[in-house]
Amino acid sequence: MATIAVIGTGYVGLTTGACFAHLGHDVICADIDEEKIARLKEGQIPIVEDGLDRVVAEALSAGKIRFVVGATNASEHAEFHYLCVPTPQGSDGRADLRFLEAAAAEIGPSLPANSVVVNKSTVPVGSTEVVAKHLDRPDVRVVSNPEFLREGTAVQDFLHPDRVVIGSSDQEAAIRVAALYSKVRAPIMVTDPVSAETIKYASNAFLATKLSFVNAIATLCEHVGADVNDVTLGMGYDTRIGKEFLKPGPGWGGSCFPKDVAALARIADDYDYDFALLREVLNVNEAQFQRTAQKVIDALGPDPSSKKVAAWGLTFKAGTDDLRESPAIEVLQRVSGSGAQVVAFDPAIPSEIPQLPLVTVESDPLVAAKNADVLVVLTEWPEFKFVDFDQLADQMRGRTVVDGRNLLDRSTLKRRNFEVIGIGR
């Protein structure tokens, strides 16, 4: 078993550290946030992620994971050093590597000889060389090991991945990183660093493309009178297509897809390739936000400013408390811009959020729906399906539901005289 330093305890870093500890490695997780580290030492998890609290608690109890303040305090004792720092989208669409560069420069002088530094953050092609430059350690190898974690199922995805991708120009370093996954049953693909970095971007861009495609098909279904659920069911039986990511919705978002698609398009621009397909993927998604919001605004009638909208769902997907680039927020910003009063509920969001200053957040879905003229469903939380619809009918003033996820049972709602407006139906 190896000693691994994980630099950054965000969503990727904390999951990576906890899961490596679960596999038996000795892990030291570092962050600059002293309060966060203090909470993690007590087993308090700052994010909503299924199973992560249990894995961290087990690792703490077994003495397989420690949390420290400062990257140097972790790296001076480790053989492997996973960089899991943010790489946000810059104003020009490129990934901002300042945090990555700073982390490499900080740990460089303290690394034990012959260490391996691993890029786990999503980074542009050529970033292993950028890290190597800022490390300034000729004896240290830099390897790419991109993450493919889905929020809500990150622990499962780490421990039971579809594949492990390792990019290195040094075969010995690649073998050493591959050995960290010896207890994981999955194909391990070893390639060059640039190909590994491109695999990450290409994977997310393809999935985003699939989502934009199905949302465009949903719009077409509305025009021609088809039912998108039946259309996607028929498509999904084709093994070349598959059923995953064929669910229409209010648009896609999250911490990865928007910035990764934009970054890949920018990388193409940097190499004088016009990746027009990706630009249209982004355009279709932006249009989907507006289409969904317009369904709500149209349902309010000629004077939205005198009406109330209840919104179920604020996070970008169920199973997380992540609001980054959330389609729900994009839609509600447009709805609140019409002058309508908006009251929202999300099981993972207990209080008001700065991104939506004109939206009130309630702690119960039925309280949010009280005296509402329109209900809009924006996140696919399964508990929404089990709300008492008789009580919902009693609470609401209007009888219109805009189901942005095609989540609720239409026949149940229609029996209670609701009009149901779906996506592609």
Helix ranges (DSSP H) in 153-240: 154-159, 171-179, 193-224, 228-236
DSSP state of 390: H
256 annotated active-site: yes
DSSP state of 109: G
Q: Are 190 and 172 in contact (CB under 8 A)?
A: no
**CA torsion, ordered 390, 396, 398, 399, to nearest 10 deg:** -20
- DSSP secondary structure code for residue 95 in this structure: B
**For residues 33 and 53, what is the distance between their CA atoms, to the nearest angstrom?**
19
Q: Enter the tokens of residue 306.
A: 């005198």
Contact 92, 266 (CB under 8 A): yes
Among 133, 113, 149, 182, CA closest to 12: 149
Pairwise CA distance, residues 76 & 65, whole Å:
16
Choose, from 29, 84, 221, 256, the residue flagged as catalytic. Answer: 256
Cβ atoms of residues 149 and 165 within 8 Å? no
Cα distance between residue 68 and residue 47, in whole Å: 18
Cα–Cα distance list, 41 to 18, 36, 67, 69, 306 (Å): 12, 9, 6, 11, 50
Catalytic residues: 256
